Structure 1
């Protein structure tokens, strides 16, 4: 009776399924599902991963919330932790070095040749300005010490802030540097909707494109304050006068994080572990214990208030105990073998986060061979080179471009009897320059020297490139060679003997390095 629900059209046969050369549909669907399950497993929140964040945090929010406690902990470890102090020392020694980062003026004449007199004069004047008493407003630091301070601040505070101060009363150049504490620029100070689309983020006023315009530094003297907000007084410093350097970890980051940020907890726990092990070792070495009375023995009730019983332990002597009194020794076994492997594993993680080798951080060369230390040094030195370029770009480049015009106006004196000075109108010519940061000797200097000589002979490297890789100035090295040769000839040494002693025996005799000679390659 339900025929009216059915179609009156004659039934048609379903078309036969076409054979498919592909995999069954169920198989095709299972592959992406498996991939999705494996990917989503990394985002699943359970009891083992609940402490990992599941919502991305903007850079401004992360810095505003976490920078102050991170800087406080980093400063504490920098003052009290041996490994943190060792890391800061490594940063100073490898980024700046004992001789600092040298300026190499490279101005050229119209024919493309180097203007040696002008370059020497610029370099000499910059060295004079860099001396202690000239480049620092307080007169206490040289430029090398200011660079060390910048590296220390970046590693400990996450950033450095150095102000370029101008004034005739500073020095002959009218330019000096003032090292500022970055924490005086309040990271928690934010303000929106300023005139012209400006806004303040983390103590820095930006234009509508996010370019720094002014830095706000807190002051306790209301009379010198340029800006007051929330009962706090601030001094405004133009961004063009502040050299602000930090390593950018997040897109949109405006303030820096300490370089030791990932190692802070490990350093703290390792320090606590070592202190506990030291205390336990001292207690164990003292061979202390407890006194126990046998049942029925001991002091009577009215003697309970008597002084506790102590025994003085002296080497080779034993004290006689009263009847019924026994001594039960307490001999803790920790640390027996836990300290060394735990410390080594922890220091490996710390060294990885800091970008240096474990052997350098822990001062541990046990079991090190030539190949392993070479591999560690190669990676570590690439990190130092990267930080050297960062320091040059963040500090030395803006400093040089601010110093050179004022030095030319002051007068950069050329060598010679006439005492001529460089013309300020040729500023563009004299701006050509380069920086020579610290470089390092190889683990095996003999192999390194042989490899350099072979590279020069095979035209793989030029002599000037080899000199720069050693941290030298090619022009200075060649001039020194010329002066040495001239001095020896003036002293009466035959010219042929001088040339033979100063020349490369391999190039003079036509000999080549022995087959199979070891090198530092590979």
Structure 2
């Protein structure tokens, strides 16, 4: 007796397997020959933990040895931090804001515990590590005066192979300890970075989570450790690197025009030359020289294969695929500006900058800049170096801050400035927003303008006002 479902299938003219395929509705979830060798990632978190170290090592090699990879790292580092993401205090009192901002500016030169970089240099180091290895770790500590110091770690210094179940439902995953509620409570760090040539310690330290900033792009819910941003393109990039080497060798061989002397008598065909160390001679041809060959002798020249246009086009297509996978414009990956115009380069940069802004806020600022600001300001106030009335009662009023990313250079400064002025005049943008987009603080800019005006007036200087660009447009 047929089931009701089978009768329904047959009423539609479908066999049961065909009906099953039709009911599924998604070609990407279907089976069959076309999907036989397709890859799958059934457990993204486990896959990331298993592959992250290998991906990081391969990305580090390519970033150090391949020009395209190095350009990709530089493009992302510049877009994420540029000359530095700078803070501006939002304390209510203007004088207090000025004092806090000045104190932070003085501290930036001494921020690095190793003494090699300032605070903004550390940002660039973190951004580079974020792109290449997928993550960066920063340990927060204090010197003998109580001042905050930052130490950027190699990602391998956090023991990614350490996994353990702890009492009370806590656990350690890839060197990070979580409590029963899933909150990070500690990091397990090797005392010395891996590969230290002399006296490397194998001691594993447990460092509280409040003393460590873990900066990484969380691409999967529940993701514990970061994955190199080169992961989608590592194989393509390695293949392109090998293809470039092969084509370069091919070009070198093609440039070697070689003549082969065919001599049936075996006596070097009468060519003069110096002994080659093996009892023979090395024949050569000089410009304008005329040689008479004896009967039966012949000279044949090599005909090296040339690189076709299709090979060059394919290499460009592969480079575009790598740029798309890495998330940067093709022109920044290769330096090739031959096919761009104003509109295309602007459209590409606008999208890239939008993506960079998202990552600035979600990773660099949220995971690094904000924790550092809160720790630094609290330390300065508690040490008595900053006067902050009411901090104990309402610390958030003092800890409030705006982080200003570096300004983006315009493709056409005149047109963009005109559009910005029109937006301010129409009430669609404030001066504060416009100034912040340039990486400056409005109060500091106004004070500088006023100081310039006062200095010019005191010296009897007068500068002609430039023509109104908006009036010219109208």
TM-score where L is the length of structure 2: 0.85
**By how many angstroms is 1:480 displaced?**
1.5
Query: 1:374-453 alignment to 2 at 5 Å?
Result: 374-389=346-361, 390-412=363-385, 421-423=387-389, 424-425=391-392, 427-453=395-421
Q: Is residue 175–residue 187 contact of structure 2 (8 Å, CA) maintained in 1?
A: yes
Q: 1: distance between equivalents of 2:27 and 2:459?
A: 82
Match of 2:465 among 501, 504, 508: 501
**By how many angstroms is 1:436 displaced?**
0.4
Q: Is residue 230–residue 326 contact of structure 2 (8 Å, CA) maintained in 1?
A: yes
- Of 142-151 and 261-270, deviating more is 261-270
| Matching residue of 1:183 | 156
Q: Give SS of 1:387's match.
A: helix
Q: Give SS of 1:56's match.
A: coil
Q: Is residue 158–residue 246 contact of structure 1 (8 Å, CA) maintained in 2?
A: yes
Indicate how the Cα distance of structure 1 residues 83 and 220 shifts in structure 2: closer, same or farther if over 3 A, else same.
closer
Q: Is residue 24–residue 30 contact of structure 2 (8 Å, CA) maintained in 1?
A: no
Q: Give SS of 1:146's match.
A: helix
RMSD: 3.0
TM-score where L is the length of structure 1: 0.78
Query: 1:277-292 alignment to 2 at 5 Å?
Result: 277-288=247-258, 290-292=260-262
Q: Is residue 270–residue 343 contact of structure 1 (8 Å, CA) maintained in 2?
A: yes
Q: How many residues align?
A: 446
Q: Is residue 404–residue 437 contact of structure 2 (8 Å, CA) maintained in 1?
A: no
| Matching residue of 2:273 | none
**By how many angstroms is 1:40 displaced?**
5.3
* Residue 314 (structure 2) pairs with residue 342 (structure 1): yes
Q: Is residue 64–residue 188 contact of structure 1 (8 Å, CA) maintained in 2?
A: no
Q: 1: distance between equivalents of 2:77 and 2:124?
A: 6
- Of 394-403 and 322-331, deviating more is 322-331
Please list the CA deviations of residues 454-475 of structure 1 after superposition, one character each: whole Å capped at 9, or x if unmatched.
Answer: 1122222222222122222211
Q: 1: distance between equivalents of 2:229 and 2:89?
A: 32
Query: 1:85-484 alignment to 2 at 5 Å?
Result: 85-98=70-83, 100-108=84-92, 115-131=93-109, 134-168=110-144, 172-192=145-165, 194-219=166-191, 233-288=203-258, 290-294=260-264, 297-298=265-266, 310-312=282-284, 324-389=296-361, 390-412=363-385, 421-423=387-389, 424-425=391-392, 427-484=395-452
Unaligned runs of 5+ in 2: 1-9, 194-200, 268-276
Q: Give SS of 1:130's match.
A: helix
**By how many angstroms is 1:444 displaced?**
0.8
Q: 1: distance between equivalents of 2:75 and 2:127?
A: 10
Please list the CA deviations of residues 415-443 of structure 1 after superposition, one character each: whole Å capped at 9, or x if unmatched.
Answer: xxxxxx44454633211211101121321
Q: Is residue 41–residue 47 contact of structure 2 (8 Å, CA) maintained in 1?
A: no
Q: 2: distance between equivalents of 1:459 and 1:328?
A: 79
Q: Give SS of 1:501's match.
A: coil
**By how many angstroms is 1:85 displaced?**
0.9
Q: Give SS of 1:119's match.
A: helix
Match of 2:58 among 54, 70, 73: 73
Indicate how the Cα distance of structure 1 residues 291 and 409 shifts in structure 2: closer, same or farther if over 3 A, else same.
same
**By how many angstroms is 1:310 displaced?**
4.3
Q: 2: distance between equivalents of 1:386 and 1:144?
A: 19
| Matching residue of 2:270 | none
Q: Give SS of 1:435's match.
A: strand
Please list the CA deviations of residues 477-511 of structure 1 after superposition, one character each: whole Å capped at 9, or x if unmatched.
Answer: 11122112222222336xxx77x839x858xxxx8
Question: Which has the higher relative contact order, 1 or 2, with Cα contacts under 8 A spaced 6 or more apart?
Answer: 2
Match of 1:43 among 24, 30, 37: 30
Q: Give SS of 1:380's match.
A: helix
**By how many angstroms is 1:327 displaced?**
3.4
**By how many angstroms is 1:105 displaced?**
0.7
